[in-house]
Chain A
């Protein structure tokens, strides 16, 4: 499953960041393998999505969240 599939309040671990032109940007923002991630809120129409990445809030568009493969905790 990807980070875009997480439901509100669900916590997961990032297992892979899919290679794309945003991969570096996502890594730099702390979304690397092994990192905890929690889905916090969705904007109206379900996009963008806000996540809790180890204590800070990160907003990602849905297409960007699809690049994060996660495993439920």
Chain B
């Protein structure tokens, strides 16, 4: 087993492998602390987590691979683990640390025996022995080590017990050799003989199997292969059964079970949380609380951030000479940065709650009780949380779809998530609702509030309808299944949550943030620059007005003369059927940075002095008339049409950037843009024509 030759002092590369829910991530966090980095594996959305620690003068690099139940992959992330392990010499793996859940030993050992047969030095980090104790079960570790002929290091990843011994063992694992559990059949060996690599038989078998499964062997060669071993799931089933026939007796031999079966704590909690009535009630209460905290709680720090940025802007404006650079800084870059930062409170709160639910084990229960309903619409139990979250903001929600294994289900969730009314639509809804019910503000029920609630409901219904449509249209290679382990409840671990939060925030600020900033600067340029002649003429025109009045008038006429203004006039013919004029057109264009920009833009267009004063904007808007016909600009038909447009059009460049990042294809943000905006246009057109 162990060959105690001289240990060299070169850096080691170890990988963490194990079933999901075995505490693998906790162990990774405990081993590496802050020394970790998450990056997407090339060409995939799967995260690769890398970290390192130094121990006894040796530098140890660690890769944390996605949790899997078997080397025969079922989902994209499991495939990554298998590929990574099969290319162990390319990836320079010195040793594998196999993280096993002691309270679930038999199922965990299936993957262990597969890993062991790959021939890479492997050590078992046996976690959750405390859970085992609670279940009144004992494992004879010495016996287990002898039976498996493996190095076993008992650990408690949560409190750090046994980590030092594990590190000691890791430095020696390079020399560990383990027993063989399964040898390929005679037929399989014939195939393997065609491979000339210096791997174990089992590794070579997996390499061939993978090539075959992902159609890398074609034509005659494929037929030749199939003549020797007919490839089907049966081969895997037979192998799995054989492995369990070895594992089962070993586990029986080394465990001491208390036969008296009593309900575990998890089962007691589940009796309530999965109850047909109470379960749903608790779920809806949880949703309500999530919604409330994203909505209300985030408003406070959001206000601070806005205040901070306007404070800095005012100071800079007062102290810098007015030139293109200071304008770029104060009107382009700073508002752009603010646009990135104001999303942070919502992102932090949403991800904090999601991490809390995930870490405690409740998330899988939510998927469990909602799966039936969501399945009907081409979604999945795991789509619920992103959909709810996007009532605050679609950006963190799209990022949160990563735990949906089924590709199609995940894609549909990403595509329909932005249809839910997010918090950026709220200022627009509020303004428009104020225009609709201008005289009814004193009614007992606030009609504006009712209208806004209605908009949220419509958003949800339309999201489900489009999910259903996509379910019919999109092709599915992968079968949708729901074989889901419901892990034991655990107290959330703050260290895990804080590390997750930190990584998500960094991810958002540096990736999505970059794009938001760039677009904001472009919009600033378009709205503040235009043909020089026109601008000069405006300055001339107002030389005789009082200072304050002039500033406002000039601002509004400049906007008209700017590139954005000409764009608004250019698109006027296209938006006329919806009841909009070129001024609304400008607002539509600037709303592309973020929907709430609508309010600020109309304030600028109609020269309303204070954009923060909503009633002033409402009053001004309700007085606007069409220059040619003398009719009111904001009739009921126009307002309703605008409501529909803002509810469904894809006007959020940040969301599209995130969709691109998560799907790794420019195709999906384009489709998202086209179907949402097309639908919004159609609906606004119908509404306007009906109420005109």
B374 CB, nearest partner CB in chain A, Å = 11
Which of these, B107, B135, B368, contacts A43 with CB under 8 Å? B368
A44 touching B270 in the complex, CB below 8 Å, given contacts A27-B240, A56-B107, A59-B484: no
Q: Is the CB of A44 within 8 A of B483?
A: no
Please, what's the 1-or-0 string for A6-46, where 1 marks a CB less than 8 Å from any CB in chain B? 00000000000101011111111110111000001111110
| A4 to B486 Cα, complex, angstroms | 18
Q: Is the CB of B107 within 8 A of A30?
A: yes
Q: From A42, A54, A55, name the one whose CB has the most chain B CB atoms within 10 angstroms.
A: A55
Q: Is the CB of B104 within 8 A of A25?
A: no
A50 touching B483 in the complex, CB below 8 Å, given contacts A28-B110, A43-B368: no
Please, what's the 1-or-0 string for B470-505, where 1 marks a CB less than 8 Å from any CB in chain A? 000000000101111111100000000000000000
Q: Which residues of A contact B279 (CB under 8 A)?
A: 43-44
A33 CB, nearest partner CB in chain B, Å = 8
Which of these, B241, B280, B368, B483, contacts A22 with CB under 8 Å? B483
A60 CB, nearest partner CB in chain B, Å = 6
Q: Is the CB of B481 within 8 A of A61?
A: yes
Q: Is the CB of B372 within 8 A of A48?
A: yes
Residue B522 interfacial (CB < 8 Å): no
B380 CB, nearest partner CB in chain A, Å = 11
Residue A71 interfacial (CB < 8 Å): no
Residue of A nearest to B236 (CB): A24
Which of these, A33, A56, A64, contacts B481 with CB under 8 Å? A64
Q: Is the CB of A44 within 8 A of B69?
A: no
Q: Is the CB of A23 within 8 A of B233?
A: yes
Residue B271 interfacial (CB < 8 Å): yes
A46 CB, nearest partner CB in chain B, Å = 8
Q: Is the CB of A24 within 8 A of B369?
A: no
B73 CB, nearest partner CB in chain A, Å = 11
Q: Which residues of B contact A42 (CB under 8 A)?
A: 276
Q: Which residues of A contact B240 (CB under 8 A)?
A: 24, 27-28, 32
Q: Is the CB of B372 within 8 A of A55?
A: no
Instruction: List residues of B (226-251) whose CB comes within 8 Å of A's CBs.
Output: 233-234, 236-237, 240-241, 244, 248
Which of these, A26, A43, A53, contacts B371 with CB under 8 Å? A43
Instruction: List residues of B (264-314) whose CB comes within 8 Å of A's CBs.
Output: 266-267, 270-271, 274-276, 279-280
The prevalent SS among residues of B at the interface is helix
| A32 to B106 Cα, complex, angstroms | 11
Q: Is the CB of B368 within 8 A of A59?
A: yes
Q: Is the CB of A45 within 8 A of B486?
A: no
Q: Is the CB of A50 within 8 A of B103?
A: no
Q: Which residues of B contact A57 (CB under 8 A)?
A: 266-267, 270, 485-488
Which of these, A27, A41, A64, contacts B237 with CB under 8 Å? A27
Residue B364 interfacial (CB < 8 Å): yes
Q: Is the CB of B482 within 8 A of A21?
A: no
A10 CB, nearest partner CB in chain B, Å = 13
Q: Is the CB of A21 within 8 A of B368?
A: no
Q: Which residues of A contact B481 (CB under 8 A)?
A: 22, 25, 61, 64
Q: From A27, A30, A54, name the one whose CB has the most chain B CB atoms within 10 angstroms.
A: A27
Q: Which residues of B contact A33 (CB under 8 A)?
A: 241
Instruction: List residues of B (59-111) whose CB comes within 8 Å of A's CBs.
Output: 69-70, 72, 74, 103-104, 106-107, 110
Q: Is the CB of A44 within 8 A of B233?
A: no
Q: Which residues of B contact A17 (CB under 8 A)?
A: 237
Q: Which residues of B contact A59 (CB under 8 A)?
A: 364, 367-368, 482-486
B232 CB, nearest partner CB in chain A, Å = 9
Interface size on A, residues (CB 8 A): 35
| A22 to B72 Cα, complex, angstroms | 12
| A48 to B485 Cα, complex, angstroms | 12
B29 CB, nearest partner CB in chain A, Å = 23
Which of these, A21, A28, A30, A55, contacts B103 with CB under 8 Å? A55
Q: From A21, A34, A52, A61, name the one whose CB has the most chain B CB atoms within 10 angstroms.
A: A61
Q: Is the CB of B486 within 8 A of A50?
A: yes
Residue of A nearest to B275 (CB): A41
Q: Which residues of B contact A56 (CB under 8 A)?
A: 103-104, 107, 485, 487-488
| A27 to B367 Cα, complex, angstroms | 22
Residue of A nearest to B381 (CB): A48
Residue of A nearest to B267 (CB): A40
Q: Which residues of B contact A52 (CB under 8 A)?
A: 267
Q: Is the CB of A29 within 8 A of B276?
A: no
Which of these, B244, B271, B275, B371, contacts A61 with CB under 8 Å? B371
B283 CB, nearest partner CB in chain A, Å = 10
B362 CB, nearest partner CB in chain A, Å = 13
Q: Which residues of A contact B103 (CB under 8 A)?
A: 55-56
Residue of B nearest to A61 (CB): B482
| A61 to B375 Cα, complex, angstroms | 11
Q: Is the CB of B372 within 8 A of A24?
A: no
Q: From B72, B280, B485, name the one whose CB has the most chain A CB atoms within 10 angstroms.
A: B485
Q: Is the CB of B372 within 8 A of A32?
A: no
Q: Is the CB of B483 within 8 A of A41?
A: no
A44 touching B236 in the complex, CB below 8 Å, given contacts A56-B107, A59-B482: no
Please, what's the 1-or-0 string for B141-155, where 1 marks a CB less than 8 Å from any CB in chain A? 000000000000000
A49 CB, nearest partner CB in chain B, Å = 9
A40 touching B270 in the complex, CB below 8 Å, given contacts A48-B372, A57-B485, A58-B485: yes
Q: Is the CB of A58 within 8 A of B483?
A: yes
Which of these, A19, A30, A44, contacts B276 with CB under 8 Å? A44
| A8 to B482 Cα, complex, angstroms | 20
B28 CB, nearest partner CB in chain A, Å = 22
Residue of B nearest to A42 (CB): B276
| A27 to B247 Cα, complex, angstroms | 13
A43 touching B483 in the complex, CB below 8 Å, given contacts A21-B233, A27-B241, A29-B69: no
Q: Which residues of B contact A29 (CB under 8 A)?
A: 69, 107, 483, 485
Residue of B nearest to A22 (CB): B481
Residue of A nearest to B274 (CB): A41
Residue of A nearest to B361 (CB): A57
Residue of A nearest to B72 (CB): A24
B610 CB, nearest partner CB in chain A, Å = 51
Which of these, A23, A44, A55, A64, contacts B104 with CB under 8 Å? A55
Could you list 18 examples of A-B contacts with CB < 8 Å?
A17-B237, A24-B237, A27-B237, A28-B72, A29-B107, A40-B267, A43-B368, A43-B369, A44-B276, A45-B372, A50-B274, A53-B107, A55-B137, A56-B103, A57-B267, A57-B487, A58-B485, A59-B485
Apart from A19-B233, A25-B69, A61-B481, what 16 extra A-B contacts exist at CB < 8 Å? Answer: A19-B237, A25-B481, A26-B483, A27-B237, A27-B241, A28-B69, A28-B72, A29-B107, A33-B241, A40-B267, A40-B270, A42-B276, A44-B276, A47-B372, A58-B484, A58-B486
The 7 closest A-B pairs by CB, nearest first: A57-B486, A30-B107, A59-B484, A27-B240, A28-B70, A41-B274, A24-B236
**Residues of A bordering B, CB below 8 Å:** 17, 19, 21-30, 32-34, 40-45, 47-48, 50, 52-61, 64
